[in-house]
Amino acid sequence: MSDSLEQSRSVGKHFIGGEFVAAESGATFEAVNPATEEILMQVARGDEKDIAYAVAAAKSAFDAGDWSRAAPSFRRKVLFKAADLIEARSAEIIRLQTLEMGGPLGPEFPGPHPVMARSAWNLRFFAEEQEQAGGHAFNRDDTLLTYTMSDAAGVFGLITPWNAPIMLSTWKMAPCLAYGNSAVHKPSEMSPLSISILCEIFAEAGMPQGVYNAVLGYGKEAGIPLVEHKEVIGVSFTGSPGTAKDIAGRAATSLKRTSFELGGKSASIIFADADLKKAVGAAAMSIFMNSGQICVAGSRILVQRSIYDDFLEQFEKVAAAWKPGDPMSRTTRLGPLVSKAQYDRVMGYLDLARTEGRVLFGGGRPSNLEKGYFVEPTAIVDVAQDARVCQEEIFGPVATIIPFDDVDQAIEIANDSTYGLAGYIWTESQTTAHYVSHRLQTGMIWINSGFDRDLRQPFGGMKMSGLGREGGGLSREFFTETRFASFPLVPRGAATAH
Ligand code: ADP
């Protein structure tokens, strides 16, 4: 167990009403380092009581109005300060993330780590959006003027996963808080440490106490009471479809609004006219980055038959550079999976792959690593599109590779999925790129690229990959109460109401 973590006043504690506190029950759970299987520390294990305190703190902060009715310029100032602090403490945050969930530190960067720069951007983007966004005024004729109002709505529940803890948390916090709401955040039990730095940052940046609260713990013990709490008016959730269904059912009983960003089985579609070197590198990055634990991972690779053999040869060579190893080392690109449960799950799929298809490379535990939840980068070939390994989200560094003959067959295979999150198209033909973009049943499409973002665009998925979109004005719609006010321009009585 790490002494410095245990002695920290903030790490592994809830953050409620501006204070770092243990669980009311005194209960804890273990945070485990997935690279070493060692226990990092005991973490506050939240339940219904902790959620009740946090929601009460959030509600009283909302009602006080120091944030919810503050000038947009004040909220902007605080969120910009928080963004600066995220960048300043980037190395510290990334280190805690690596300890808790195994994502590699990556090389030394001259400035903040790119994932922290993106987290800071989330805050700055919505801090500006809320200041600039306006409503509509309609002057129907000379008798009536109406205008829309988008005000802070109340207390939101934010429930986030472990695969990019701070980036995905700030993606929800930023609009929630920027538009003046209060939040109770339930980070994943698998990444309960790094969030404490964000809590410190919000306090230092001058956010009024109680506006943002974090309750650590399990979904069943802390997540469910948050969803069910009567003062919580909406839930923004990123995680698995099964959990989303549970949240949707509970939220329905009190008619809460929900927004769901879920899993995927996204296809990288590589046409014969693509820049093959770039496509191979990007396809590998798309499935091996973060050990494949990314919702938009390109876990199915579809390759036009005339370049199929060439692709396999090059893909195997590129994959060799994704060697599993110590995520604390600056040269490691592939860390462990997040947990024993996730490791066992992925190993189960690798066993299945041997009966459903053929393992081209990888397919097991790296022989040089005795401890930790490591899995080799793996490619599965000679597999039918309806095989479970082609249909189910594995959430590991495992790609299935399937050949196709023409553009319509590529679209048919890509769309043959219960998921619809992302699609990657590799072709030099603009006509092919746009034809495929319009026909792919996914919320997001990247052409000859991957992961580029403009935060004004809708992020989210179709089918089992999500319900609702977040980004730009769509986040504003979700996180505000949109209403109208109407007033007559001539004395009432002379005008007729319609
Ligand atoms: P993953 O499989 O990616 O971990 P989950 O959907 O299990 O995704 O978890 C994502 C987040 O949802 C975590 O913070 C988890 O604690 C929380 N969670 C899990 N089950 C529930 C539930 N029934 N209600 C509310 N939150 C939950």
Q: Residue 497: what pLDDT?
A: 52
- pTM across the whole model: 0.97
| Residue 29 in this model has a pLDDT that exceeds 80 | yes
| Residue 496 in this model has a pLDDT that exceeds 70 | no
Do 236 and 281 have their domain in common? Answer: no
Nearest-CA residue for ligand 1 atom 22 is 219
Do 196 and 340 have their domain in common? Answer: no
The answer to the question of residue 21 being in a domain is yes
Q: Is 396 in the pocket of ligand 1 (CB under 6 A)?
A: no
Nearest-CA residue for ligand 1 atom 14 is 188
Residues 6+ apart with CB under 8 A from 158: 169, 172, 173, 176, 183, 184, 185, 186, 235, 236, 237
What does the CA dihedral 360, 343, 217, 19 come to, rounded to 10 degrees? Answer: -70
Do 358 and 472 have their domain in common? Answer: no
Q: Residue 494: what pLDDT?
A: 53
Do 295 and 197 have their domain in common? Answer: no
Nearest-CA residue for ligand 1 atom 15 is 219
Q: How many domains does the chain have?
A: 2
Q: Which residues are catalytic?
A: 261, 295
Q: Are 210 and 183 in contact (CB under 8 A)?
A: no
Q: Is 240 in the pocket of ligand 1 (CB under 6 A)?
A: yes
Q: Residue 4: what pLDDT?
A: 80
Q: Residue 2: what pLDDT?
A: 62
Do 285 and 243 have their domain in common? Answer: no
Output b/e per residue, 57-82; b: 16+ Cβ within 10 A.
bbbebbeeeebbebebeebbebbbbb
Do 143 and 275 have their domain in common? Answer: no
Do 162 and 274 have their domain in common? Answer: no
Atom of ligand 1 nearest to the CA of 163: 3
- Between CA 474 and CA 180 the distance in angstroms is 16
Q: Residue 179: what pLDDT?
A: 98
Cα 240 to middle of ligand 1, angstroms: 7
**pLDDT mean over 114-119:** 97
Q: What residue numbers bound the domain in which 23 lies?
A: 3-262+465-483
| Residue 378 in this model has a pLDDT that exceeds 90 | yes
The answer to the question of residue 414 being in a domain is yes
Q: Is 188 in the pocket of ligand 1 (CB under 6 A)?
A: yes
Q: What is the mean pLDDT of the chain?
A: 96
Interval 314-372: pLDDT, tens: 999 999 999 999 999 999 999 999 999 999 999 999 999 999 999 999 999 999 999 99
**pLDDT mean over 6-26:** 96
Atom of ligand 1 nearest to the CA of 226: 25
- Nearest residue to 55 via CA among 212, 193, 254: 212
Interval 419-431: pLDDT, tens: 999 999 999 999 9
Do 438 and 471 have their domain in common? Answer: no
Do 205 and 352 have their domain in common? Answer: no
**pLDDT mean over 3-13:** 88
Q: Residue 371: what pLDDT?
A: 97
How many CB atoms lie under 10 A from the CB of residue 221?
Answer: 21
Atom of ligand 1 nearest to the CA of 217: 16
**pLDDT mean over 41-67:** 98
The HSE-up count of residue 212 (CA atoms within 13 Å, CB side) is 29
Do 322 and 429 have their domain in common? Answer: yes
The answer to the question of residue 189 being in a domain is yes
Cα 259 to middle of ligand 1, angstroms: 14
**pLDDT mean over 190-217:** 98
Q: Is 218 in the pocket of ligand 1 (CB under 6 A)?
A: yes
Interval 433-486: pLDDT, tens: 999 999 999 999 999 999 899 999 999 999 999 999 999 999 999 999 999 999
Do 242 and 271 have their domain in common? Answer: no
The HSE-up count of residue 23 (CA atoms within 13 Å, CB side) is 20
141 — pLDDT class (breaks 50, 70, 90)? confident
Cα 422 to middle of ligand 1, angstroms: 21
The answer to the question of residue 452 being in a domain is no
Q: Residue 439: what pLDDT?
A: 98
Interval 231-285: pLDDT, tens: 999 999 999 999 999 999 999 999 999 999 999 999 999 999 999 999 999 999 9
**pLDDT mean over 400-405:** 98
What share of the chain has pLDDT > 70, as a percent?
98
Q: Is 219 in the pocket of ligand 1 (CB under 6 A)?
A: yes
Cα 157 to middle of ligand 1, angstroms: 13
| Interstrand relation of 39-44 and 137-141 (parallel, antiparallel or unpaired) | unpaired
Nearest-CA residue for ligand 1 atom 18 is 219
| Residue 493 in this model has a pLDDT that exceeds 70 | no
Atom of ligand 1 nearest to the CA of 263: 3
The answer to the question of residue 129 being in a domain is yes
CATH no. for residue 351? 3.40.309.10
CATH no. for residue 12? 3.40.605.10
The token pair that represents 36 in the structure block: 């070493």
Q: Residue 140: what pLDDT?
A: 81
The answer to the question of residue 438 being in a domain is yes
Atom of ligand 1 nearest to the CA of 159: 14
The answer to the question of residue 133 being in a domain is yes
- Nearest residue to 420 via CA among 462, 459, 457: 462
Nearest-CA residue for ligand 1 atom 27 is 219
Do 420 and 309 have their domain in common? Answer: yes
